Structure 1
Amino acid sequence: MSASRKEFKRVTVKSLVEMKQQREKISMLTAYDYSMAKIVDNAQVDVILVGDSASNTMAGHETTLPITLDQMIYHASSVIRAVQRALVVVDLPFGSYQSDPKEALRSAIRIMKESGAHAVKLEGGEEVKESVKRILNAGIPVMGHLGLTPQSIYKFGTYTVRAREKEEAKKLIRDAKLLESLGCFAVVLEKIPAELTKIVSEEITIPTIGIGAGADADGQVLVIHDLLGMTHEFNPRFLRRYMNLYDEMGAAIGQYVADVKSKDFPSDKEQY
């Protein structure tokens, strides 16, 4: 650990800006339940994202679109009860903010009041400007999300890298600057060229958090189930698996089944 690293008793949106200024990278992971959030928080992760990826990892949907606002509040409430240090950011789900700024504000207020979360995240730039303004004007911190925006997957038609073309890259830079000017405290950059991430990170003062966006982002985020190897069918280039829990948990459960069938469990020492 660097001697110059500042220890934050509680990470706030201000802490993240300080970390960027001090060139300390920001760590961010998803969590959707109390037990996992407690482990992640105790490991000193800076930001916990209660992502709409819960639609995939927790409910088995193909996309993030089906998850509801009520479900996001349920997951966020579970996470908040476990967290002592990390900043907890909650995704506004599809349909809760895109078309009506008033609805966006109502959705954000519900998340903050009913879950106790610290901030919300939403996808898009110019298209959601009015929603971002409404939420920020209410005093609710907002994290942006540009590049590959999973809630728009049917518009894109693919999960391939975004902003390779010149015009789309220019728009992404404009959107990042717009989100900064509106008052967002950070922006996620998903699956864009590393060179573009470097440009954006240098041209805005708020932190950038990358996922599949290269090493020049001010921080990195991964889905906890992917990092731990609890999923095995998802293998993008940007994913580094730190464990292989899919196989390890399967082996442990298989051994339990075998022990029950063979009457090895419970033993004399494991009963009253």
Structure 2
Amino acid sequence: MSSQVQDTIKRITAPDIRARKGGEPIVVLTAYDAPTAAIMDPHCDVLLVGDSLGMAVHGMTSTVGVTLEMMILHGQAVMRGAKRAMVVIDMPFGSYEAGMETAYANAVRVMKETGAQAIKLESGPTAPATIEYLVKRGIPVMGHVGLLPQSINIDGSFKAKGRDEAERARILQSAHDTANAGAFSVVIEGVAESLAREITEAIDKPTIGIGASAACDGQVLVTPDMLGLFDWTPRFVRKYADLRGEIDRAVAGYAADVRARRFPAEVETYFSKKPASP
């Protein structure tokens, strides 16, 4: 793509996503590297550099060990690949809970060093005040309610939320508080369908569902899950490809060719040039 063509592409922004409430569903996928981001860019409205990269890319057992430096490195890569989609970067565990000024300093660093358009944070009890603080200082924020992966050590497992009335009320209130604090959109993860529908109808900001409801204003999936890179995926994932099988077959074919000396063949080999005839 020439630089002249790149200059004519308008990047999707937080106000653009905010305006999609109740309109055309918002398409979101996670992204962690430049070439994959470039492939997804024409099809997605938002590319989320999720802290899920800890598990999906780095082999961690949860997102808790993900660092700010990791998020920035992957965010920079995604920004190099994506030209149209809005890029949102997760604030990792420990980067925003210590206080609003700490959250601001870390969010500023993420946005300055990556060029991304927004950050996302999980909406725990202290999050609304932090969201309001950030938004007032020019940082667009995507919220996240329901199942909160960064709280795995408190919850004990990744299980659906909002199935009893008390928990349902807490999540609904959290969604209201997150939207009212100024988040331009709210991810709803792993909740009962009726609760996701109720939140979507109750708040004036777009909702992005993951394991939630088709009634949400948009949907997000972890890209390696939907591409079939893992043997196991959560119930809410629909696999659109079997890349694990494709990669296995490709690597097995390569290994067989190397061992049989079928690769490289003549067509894949460089040879010395013949001297010119006198």
Q: In 2, are the aligned partners of 1:122 and 1:144 still within 8 Å (CA)? A: yes
Partner of 2:127: 128
1:1-80 equivalences in 2 (<5 Å)? 9-21=10-22, 23-42=23-42, 44-80=43-79
Q: In 2, are the aligned partners of 1:97 and 1:107 still within 8 Å (CA)? A: yes
Q: In 2, are the aligned partners of 1:26 and 1:209 still within 8 Å (CA)? A: yes
Q: Which runs of at least 4 in structure 1 moved beyond 6 Å after TM superposition?
A: none
Partner of 1:165: 164
Superposed displacement of residue 9, structure 1: 4.0
Q: In 2, are the aligned partners of 1:55 and 1:63 still within 8 Å (CA)? A: yes
CA distance in 2, matches of 1:82, 1:53: 19
Q: Secondary structure at the match of 1:89?
A: strand
1:191-210 equivalences in 2 (<5 Å)? 191-210=190-209
Identity %: 42
CA distance in 1, matches of 2:72, 2:124: 24
Q: In 1, are the aligned partners of 2:129 and 2:181 still within 8 Å (CA)? A: no
1:25 alignment partner AA: P
CA distance in 2, matches of 1:126, 1:147: 12
Q: In 2, are the aligned partners of 1:125 and 1:179 still within 8 Å (CA)? A: no
**Rg (Cα) greater in structure:** 2
1:1-272 equivalences in 2 (<5 Å)? 9-21=10-22, 23-42=23-42, 44-232=43-231, 234-272=232-270
1:16 alignment partner AA: I
CA distance in 2, matches of 1:9, 1:77: 19
Q: Secondary structure at the match of 1:19?
A: coil
Q: Deviations over 1:90-118 (max 9, x none)?
A: 00000001121111111100000011111
Partner of 2:274: none
Number of aligned residue pairs: 262
Q: Secondary structure at the match of 1:126?
A: coil
Q: Deviations over 1:120-152 (max 9, x none)?
A: 000024322222122112100000000000000
Consecutive unaligned residues in structure 1, runs of 5 or more: 1-7
Partner of 1:3: none
TM-score for the superposition, normalised by structure 1: 0.93
Q: Deviations over 1:221-252 (max 9, x none)?
A: 000100101111x3221010001111110110
CA distance in 2, matches of 1:30, 1:66: 18
Superposed displacement of residue 20, structure 1: 2.1
Q: Deviations over 1:43-83 (max 9, x none)?
A: x2110000001110111110000011011100001101111
Q: In 1, are the aligned partners of 2:123 and 2:178 still within 8 Å (CA)? A: no
Q: Secondary structure at the match of 1:81?
A: helix
Q: Secondary structure at the match of 2:209?
A: strand
Q: In 1, are the aligned partners of 2:162 and 2:191 still within 8 Å (CA)? A: yes
1:230 alignment partner AA: L
CA distance in 1, matches of 2:184, 2:202: 14
Partner of 1:5: none
Superposed displacement of residue 35, structure 1: 1.0
1:10 alignment partner AA: R
Q: Secondary structure at the match of 1:102?
A: helix
Bigger shift: residues 254-263 or 129-138: 129-138
CA distance in 2, matches of 1:236, 1:77: 28
CA distance in 1, matches of 2:166, 2:268: 66
Q: In 2, are the aligned partners of 1:45 and 1:86 still within 8 Å (CA)? A: yes
Superposed displacement of residue 19, structure 1: 2.1
